[in-house]
Amino acid sequence: MNALHTFKTINYTKLTNSGTFTFAAPSNIALVKYWGKKQNQIPANPSLSFTLKNCKTITKLQYQPKAEKNISFDLLFEGQVKESFRPKIQKYFERIQDLCPYILDYHFKIDTQNTFPHSSGIASSASGMAALSATIIALEKLVNPNQTEAFYLQKASLLARLGSGSACRSIKGNIVVWGETDSIENSSDLFGVTFPYEVNNIFNNYQDTILLVDKGEKQVSSTVGHDLMHNHPFAERRFKQAHENIQQLKDILKTGNLTEFIALVESEALTLHAMMMTSKPYFILMKPNTLEIINEIWKFRESTKIPVCFTLDAGANVHVLYPEKYKISVTEFITNTLAKHCQNNQFIHDEMGNGAENVS
């Protein structure tokens, strides 16, 4: 039922006027990590993330009808032409043109900006591809208006996935599962689905403060990283573990057992890095300050009993996760103890959010 061909738009009208859509989409933070993929951005294992709220990309798409059928676009970043982003967007349009043949009828002007500092080490591909996909689906609603809202949401997530895997988890909030797994009904490899079970109130507005440890260019792109899972000695066991962890997390999200939550989330983060340390070639993406911060978090948790924990992306930055009710004490801890381990003392407060929104 979820087969790819059901998302192919066959009947559509061609608009005669030009127009504009603007969408904002947030980043997301995976608790169970996607690491390893098959062809066409199909994940090797399921993942689960919290959608964020403040770290966003805002994308304006202007469409202008044209006579010939081809991929045609101008790309601006914060109002300036950005040639270095073009190949990724070109590839994105090539990947989606079968599913969205109407895109060939328009010239696009895409203007995009992030709310978080440029080259902060925060991946903008998730928020960026989600925001762009949301604008494409807004266009689809005009040229093919007869689908359900559920269809458009799934297709937006599917398009985002073709741009950057984890982007498919940024279309909706606030807990999203991507990748087919037995414990989550209707989970799919094609798009993200909202976590469909009961969630304990302790997770409402869960906080994520992102500590900017290393703002440099990523040492390993995620494309190279995913590839390292091919012929990786621990890959099969790791993929299976992700299914087990999602099943376990399903119960934890219901009971609100934060001791179990912390153990699972931190273990997932370190497992992701362990995969990179045990691949060929191998990489260490943590920096000395990443470890300093982790040790400080463990010490703080031990002495205060405040249930704060960390997770990591494929880089050196640390995401500090905690319930909203501890915001004041954890912010004080971050400012007094952790900020000095960040580049220029920089960190960004974020929290759970609701996904992409129309800000036209």
Task: State whether residue 288 is helix, strand or coil.
Answer: helix
- Minimum distance between the CB of residue 164 and ligand PMV, rounded to whole angstroms? 4
Phi, psi at 135, each rounded to 5°? -70, -35
34 binds ligand PMV (CB under 6 A): yes
Q: Give the Cα-Cα-Cα angle 6, 12, 15 (nearest 5 degrees).
A: 145
- Minimum distance between the CB of residue 18 and ligand PMV, rounded to whole angstroms? 32
Q: Closer to ligand PMV at the Cβ: 165 or 355?
A: 165
Among residues 222, 279, 290, 343, the one that binds ligand PMV under rule CB under 6 A:
222
Site size toward ligand PMV (CB under 6 A) is 14
314 binds ligand PMV (CB under 6 A): yes
User: What are the CA-CA distances from residue 198 to residues 18, 216, 226, 254 (Å)?
Assistant: 44, 39, 32, 6
Phi, psi at 311, each rounded to 5°? -140, 165
Q: CB of 343 within 8 A of CB of 215?
A: yes
Q: How far apart are CA 227 and CA 37, in angstroms?
A: 7
Through-space distance between the first and last CA atoms of the chain, rounded to whole angstroms = 33
Q: CB of 357 within 8 A of CB of 23?
A: yes
Report which DSSP code applies to 124: -
Q: Closer to ligand PMV at the Cβ: 124 or 135?
A: 124
121 binds ligand PMV (CB under 6 A): no
170 binds ligand PMV (CB under 6 A): no
Strand 106-114, strand 73-77: pairing:
parallel
Per-residue x/- mask for ligand PMV, residues 134 to 153, rule CB under 6 A?
A: --------------------
- List the one residue out of 265, 270, 268, 264 whose CA is nearest residue 285: 270
Please choose, out of 26-34, 139-147, 179-187, 330-338, the segment that lies near ligand PMV by the rule CB under 6 A. Answer: 26-34
258 binds ligand PMV (CB under 6 A): no
- Minimum distance between the CB of residue 182 and ligand PMV, rounded to whole angstroms? 19
Per-residue x/- mask for ligand PMV, residues 36 to 55, rule CB under 6 A?
A: -----------x--------
Please choose, out of 103-111, 144-152, 158-166, 327-335, the segment that lies near ligand PMV by the rule CB under 6 A. Answer: 158-166
Binding site residues, ligand PMV, CB under 6 A: 30, 33-35, 47, 123, 125, 164-166, 222, 272, 313-314
